[in-house]
Structure 1
Amino acid sequence: MFSNLKFKHKIIIFPALFVLVTIIILVVFQSYNSQSKRLQHNIQEGYFPYVETANTLGYELINLQRIFQDAVAASDEDKLASSRDKFNEIKGYLSTASENIVAKGSDDVNQLERAFENYFKLAYRTTEAMIRGEFTEELSADIQEMVESFNKIKTQLDELIKDGKFKANIAFKTTEDNSIQSMRVVLITLLVSLSIVLVISYILSNSLIQSIGTINQRLKRLSEGDFKITNDESHKYGTDEISEMLRATNELSHKLHTVIMDVRQGIETMLTASNKTSSTSEQLSNAAKEQAASVEEMAATLEEIAANIRQNSHNATQTGNISKDANTGIKEVSTKSKEAVKTNATIKQRIEIINSIADRTDLLAINAAVEAARAGEHGRGFAIVAGEVRKLAETSKKAADEIIAMSQIGYKTITEAVEVMDTTIPNVEKTSDLVQEIVTASHEQSNGTNQVNVAVQQLNALTQQNASSSEELAKHAYDLEKQAHQLRNMISFFRLS
C-alpha cells in the first residue's frame, strides 16, 4: 500500500499523524483542564467564601447574643436598639451567602435566614421585657425558646461550615484526580500514537531503503561509465518518485549515449579545426610582427620630422619677435629723426636771429665809435668799449655763420635719413608680416605633424596589439588542440553499447 505512494504523500503522513495526535491530546487535556478550572473556581469563589461567611455569621451571632445580654445586664434600651444594626449586618452576610454559587439551588441559607429572623424577633421581645422587669412564666418560656432557637441556628451554621469544608475537600480531590487522569490519558495517547508512527515509519523506511538501494546501484554503474541498460529494467518497480527516477535515468543514459557520440565527432572536428587555426595564427603572427616593425620605423621617422618642424617653428617665432622689435625701433628712430629735423630748423631760425643781432650790434658799435670820435678826449674810453663790442659782434657773426653751415649739413643728412627710413619702414613691416605668416604656418605644420604622429602611434599600438593577439591566438589554438586530445582520452571512459 505504501510502496506506490508519492513522496509528498509519504512525507505528509508524519505531519498529519503529529497534528492528529496533538489535537487528540489537546482535546483530552482541555476537557480535563476545563473541569479542573471549574472545580477550582468553585473552591475559590464558592466554598472558601461560603465557609468564611458561615464562620463570620457564627461569630456575629454570638456578638448579637452578647448585645442582648449586655442590654439586660445594664437595663439599657439604647444598647437594645443597637442590636438592630447588628441584625442588619448579619442579614447582609446572609444575603452574601445566599448569592454564593454553592448556595444556589439550595434552601439551607433561606431556612437559616427565616430562623434568624424569628430568633431576633423573639430575643428582642424577650430582652425588652426583661429590661422592663416583666418576669412571667410566658417570659421564661420565651427565654427557653430563644435559647433553643440560638442553639438551632448555631447548629445549622456548624452544619453549613462542615458541609462547605466537605464539598471543598471533594472538589480538591476531584481536581487532583482529574490531573492524574488527564496525565494518564495523555501518556496512553502518546504511547499508542508513537506505536502507530513507529510502525508506519518502519514500513515507509523499508520501502525507501529498497528504492534508494536500487537507484544507488544504478547510479554507481553510471558513475563507472556503464551506459548499457535494458529497457524493461524499471518496469518491476512501483509508481513512486524513485521508480520514476529510475525510468528517467534510463532515458538519461540513452540521451547521454547519443550526446557522447556527438561529442566524439565534435572532438575530432575540433582537432582538425585547431590544427588549421594554429597554422593560420602563426602566419598571422609573423605578418603582424613585420607590420609592427615597419610601423615602428615610420613612427621614428615621423618623430624626427616633427622635432625638426618644432625647431623651425621655434626659430621662426624668435625671428618674428626680432622683426617686431626691429620694426618698432626703426619707427622710433624715424620719429626721433623727424623731431631732430624740426629741432634743426628751429636752431637755424634762432641762429639767424643771433646773426641779425650780431649785425645790428656791429652797426651800433660803428655808430658808438663815430660818436666817441666826435666826443674827443672824453669819448676815448667809450671808443675802446665800442671797439671790443664790435669785435665780439664780428666773432658772434662768424660763429653763427659756421653753426648755420653745420646745421644745414646736419639738416640735409637727417632729412635724407628720414627719407630712407620712410622707404625702409614698409619693407620692414612687410618682412615682419611674412615672418608671422611663416610662424603661423610652422605652428599649423607642427600641429598636423603631431596629429599624424599620434595616429601613427595609435596604429603602432594596434599593430602591436594585433601581434600580441596573434600570438595569444596561436597559444589558444595550441591549448585547444591539447584539450581536444584530453577530451578524446576522457570520453574513452564511457562504455557504450
Structure 2
Amino acid sequence: MLKNLRIGTRLTLANGLLLLIMIALIGTGISAMGRIQEHLERIVSVNNARAFHGTEMQTCVSEVSINLRNILIDTDPHKREEYVKRIADFREKYGEHLKKIVELTPKDDTKGLELLAKVGTAAETARPLNTKVMELALQHKDGEAIALLNRDARPAVRSWLTGIAQLNAYQEERSKARYVEAEGDYRHARDLMLGLGALSIALAVGITLFLTRSITVPLAKAVDAANSLAQGDLTIEVRAESTDETGLLLSAMEAMISQLRAIVTEVTAAADNVATGATELSASAETMSQGATEQAAAAEEASSSMEEMTANIRQNADNALQTEKTAVQTATDAKEGGDSVEQTVAAMKEIAVKINIIEEIARQTNLLALNAAIEAARAGEHGKGFAVVASEVRKLAERSQQAAAGILQLSRSSVDIAETAGRMLSKMVPDIQKTAGLVQEISASSREQDAGAEQINKAIQQLDQVIQQNASAAEEMASTAEELSSQSEQLQATVAFFKVGNLRRGSVAVRTPAAKGKPKTIPHQVKPRQAQSAGVEMDLGAGGADLTDDSFTRY
C-alpha cells in the first residue's frame, strides 16, 4: 500500500512521524524542565527564602539577647536607651521576617505550620520575660533582672532559638527533598528522552531505508533501461510495480520504449523506401538532365538560326525601306516631269503663237518692202538706193518668213511630242505611286516581321536560358539524389544501431534499385552565329548525322 503512495506523501508522513516524535521529545523535555524549574523555584524562591528569614529571626533573637545583656552590663543611661532602641528595632525586624515565613509557608505544609506555631509559642513566652528583665534593669534592679534572666528568660530564649533552629532545619530538609525530586524528574526525563530519541533514530533509519529503497530500486530499473536504450536495445521490458512518481517514470519509460520501438521500425522502413526512392530519383534525374541538355542544344541551335533569320528579315526590311524611298522619289520626279512637260507644251504653244506673229510680221514686212520697191521704181533715179534697201529688206523678210515657217513646223512637231510624253507620264504617275504604296506596305510588313522575329528570337533565347537552368537544376537534382541516397544509406546504418527484436516492421513497398550513374553532358553542336548585317546560311544538319541521334529517346 505504501508503495502506491506518492513520494511526497511518503516523505510527508515520514517527516510528520519524526516531527511528532520530536514534538514528544520537546514536550517531555519542556515538561521535565518545567518540573525541575518548579522544584528549583521552590528551593530558591521559597525554601531558601524561608531559611534566610529563619536565620534572620535567629539573628534578631540573638541580638535582642545581646542588647539585653548590654543593658545589664552598661550603666550609662544614654547607652541603655540606645540598647533599648536596638531591641525594639530587632523585634520589629523579627516580626517582618516571621511574617515573610508565614506568607511563604503553604497551607498544606502541616509540619512547617506546627514548627511556626511552636516558634510563636516560644516567642510569646520569651518576649515578656526579656521585657521584664529590661524593665528591671532600667529600674536599676540589676539583681532581680539577672536572677529573672538566668532563671526564666534565658531558658525561654534557648527554647525559642531551638524552635527557630528546628524550623531552619526543616527548611533545609525541604530544600534537599525538592532537590531530590528535581533530580528524579531529571533522570526520568533523561531516560524518557533517551528512549524517545533511540526510537526516533530507529524509526528515522527504518523510514530512510524504506524510502531510499522505494526510490532507488525503481530508479535503478530506470537507469538500467536508459543504459539499454543508450546501447540501442529496444527489446527490453520495463514493468512498473507502483503508482508513485517512480512507477509513473517506469510506466512513461515503458511507453517511450514501445513508442521508440514502433518509431524505429517505421523509420527503418522509411529509410529503406527513401534509399530506393533516392536511387530511382537519381536515375530519373539523370534522364531528365540528359533530356534537358538535348533540349538546351536544340534551343540554342534554334536561337542561332532565328538570329540569322532575324538578320535577313532586317536586311530585307532595310532594302524595302530604301526601295520605298526610291519609289517615292521616282513618283515625285515623274509627277514633276509631267508638270514640266505640260509647262513645256504650253510654252511651245506660246512660242508657236509668237512665231505666227513673227511670220505675219515678216509677211507684212515683205509686202511693205514690195510696196517700197514699187514706189522706188516709180521714183526713178532717186529711188534706186531705197529700192536696193527695200529689196534687201524684202529678202530678209522672206528669209524670216521661211525661218518662222520652219520654226512653227518644228514647234508644232515638238508640241505633239511633248503632249504625247505628257500623256505617257500622266499614265505612269499613278502606277509609280501605286508601286510606291506597295513598296511602303512591303517595308511596313518587313518591319513587322523584323519586330516579330526579334520577339521570337528573344523568346527562344529566354527558352534557351530556362532550358539551361532546367538542365543545371536537373544536374543538381541528380547530385542531390545521389547525396540523398548516400544519406539514406547512412540513415539505414544509423537506424541499424537499434535492436527491435523480431517485431514486424511496417509494410514497405520494396522497389528494385535503379542503376546509379552520373548524368551525361551532351555537347552542343551549334554553328557560330552569323553577323546580322550579312546573309543567312542555315545548316539544319543535312551535312551529316548529329552526334546525339543515337542517345535520343522518342516519346
Using the size of structure 1 for normalisation, the TM-score is: 0.51
Counterpart residue type for residue 34 of structure 1? G
1:138 and 1:213 map into 2 onto residues whose CA distance is: 105
Match of 2:153 in 1: 146
Change in Cα spacing, 1:173 to 1:260, as seen in structure 2 (3 Å) is: same
Q: What are the Cα deviations for residues 55-100 of structure 1, in whole angstroms up to 9, with x where unaligned?
A: 2221221110111122223354524631222211222222233333
1:157 equivalenced with 2:161 (yes/no): no
Deviation, structure 1 residue 140: 5.3
Partner of 1:125: helix, strand, or coil?
helix
Deviation, structure 1 residue 36: 0.7
Match of 1:40 in 2: 40
Deviation, structure 1 residue 110: 5.4
Partner of 2:3: helix, strand, or coil?
coil
Change in Cα spacing, 1:160 to 1:103, as seen in structure 2 (3 Å) is: farther
Match of 1:68 in 2: 68
1:95 pairs, out of 71, 92, 99, with 99
Match of 1:491 in 2: 495
1:487 and 1:128 map into 2 onto residues whose CA distance is: 131
1:275 and 1:100 map into 2 onto residues whose CA distance is: 114
- Give me the identity figure in percent: 14
Q: What are the Cα deviations for residues 230-283 of structure 1, in whole angstroms up to 9, with x where unaligned?
A: 7xx637x3433333333222221232234435655776769959989x99xxxx
Q: What are the Cα deviations for residues 377-405 of structure 1, in whole angstroms up to 9, with x where unaligned?
A: xxxxxxxxxxxxxxxxxxxxxxxxxxxxx
1:171 and 1:26 map into 2 onto residues whose CA distance is: 23
Match of 2:81 in 1: 78
Counterpart residue type for residue 187 of structure 2? I
Confirm or deny: 8 A CA contact 1:97 1:103 kept in the other structure.
no
Deviation, structure 1 residue 215: 3.6
Q: Identify the range of structure 1 (64-73 vs 101-110) with the bigger mean alpha-carbon deviation.
A: 101-110
1:486 and 1:90 map into 2 onto residues whose CA distance is: 113
Confirm or deny: 8 A CA contact 1:2 1:204 kept in the other structure.
no
Pairwise CA RMSD: 4.2
1:92 and 1:187 map into 2 onto residues whose CA distance is: 48
Q: How does 1:252-401 map to 2 (within 5 A)?
A: 252-261=256-265, 263=267
1:23 and 1:42 map into 2 onto residues whose CA distance is: 28
2:270 and 2:214 map into 1 onto residues whose CA distance is: 44
Q: Identify the range of structure 1 (17-26 vs 117-126) with the bigger mean alpha-carbon deviation.
A: 117-126
2:130 pairs, out of 123, 136, 145, with 123
Match of 2:11 in 1: 11
Match of 1:221 in 2: 228
1:168 equivalenced with 2:175 (yes/no): yes
Change in Cα spacing, 1:144 to 1:225, as seen in structure 2 (3 Å) is: same
1:137 and 1:241 map into 2 onto residues whose CA distance is: 105
1:55 and 1:162 map into 2 onto residues whose CA distance is: 10
Deviation, structure 1 residue 495: 2.6
Using the size of structure 2 for normalisation, the TM-score is: 0.46
Q: What are the Cα deviations for residues 440-467 of structure 1, in whole angstroms up to 9, with x where unaligned?
A: xxxxxxxxxxxxxxxxxxxxxxxxxxxx
Q: Identify the range of structure 1 (120-129 vs 34-43) with the bigger mean alpha-carbon deviation.
A: 120-129
Confirm or deny: 8 A CA contact 2:274 2:485 kept in the other structure.
no
Match of 1:348 in 2: none
Q: What are the Cα deviations for residues 192-235 of structure 1, in whole angstroms up to 9, with x where unaligned?
A: 233334444444545545534544443343333232467xx637
Partner of 1:3: helix, strand, or coil?
helix
1:215 and 1:136 map into 2 onto residues whose CA distance is: 113
Match of 1:178 in 2: 185
Match of 1:57 in 2: 57
Match of 1:316 in 2: none
Change in Cα spacing, 1:480 to 1:79, as seen in structure 2 (3 Å) is: farther
1:25 and 1:65 map into 2 onto residues whose CA distance is: 57
1:58 and 1:30 map into 2 onto residues whose CA distance is: 39
Q: What are the Cα deviations for residues 120-162 of structure 1, in whole angstroms up to 9, with x where unaligned?
A: 2331123212432558999956863322321111001111221
Partner of 1:221: helix, strand, or coil?
helix
Between structure 1 and structure 2, the one with the greater Rg is 2
1:159 and 1:275 map into 2 onto residues whose CA distance is: 124
Confirm or deny: 8 A CA contact 2:32 2:186 kept in the other structure.
yes
Confirm or deny: 8 A CA contact 1:80 1:124 kept in the other structure.
no
Q: What are the Cα deviations for residues 174-198 of structure 1, in whole angstroms up to 9, with x where unaligned?
A: 3233223222211111222333344
Q: Identify the range of structure 1 (160-169 vs 241-250) with the bigger mean alpha-carbon deviation.
A: 241-250
Change in Cα spacing, 1:79 to 1:216, as seen in structure 2 (3 Å) is: closer
1:74 and 1:10 map into 2 onto residues whose CA distance is: 91
Deviation, structure 1 residue 103: 8.5
Partner of 2:2: helix, strand, or coil?
coil
1:479 and 1:43 map into 2 onto residues whose CA distance is: 100
Confirm or deny: 8 A CA contact 1:98 1:110 kept in the other structure.
no
Q: What are the Cα deviations for residues 344-368 of structure 1, in whole angstroms up to 9, with x where unaligned?
A: xxxxxxxxxxxxxxxxxxxxxxxxx
Change in Cα spacing, 1:63 to 1:229, as seen in structure 2 (3 Å) is: closer
2:254 and 2:95 map into 1 onto residues whose CA distance is: 95
Q: Identify the range of structure 1 (194-203 vs 174-183) with the bigger mean alpha-carbon deviation.
A: 194-203
1:217 and 1:26 map into 2 onto residues whose CA distance is: 45
2:144 and 2:49 map into 1 onto residues whose CA distance is: 43
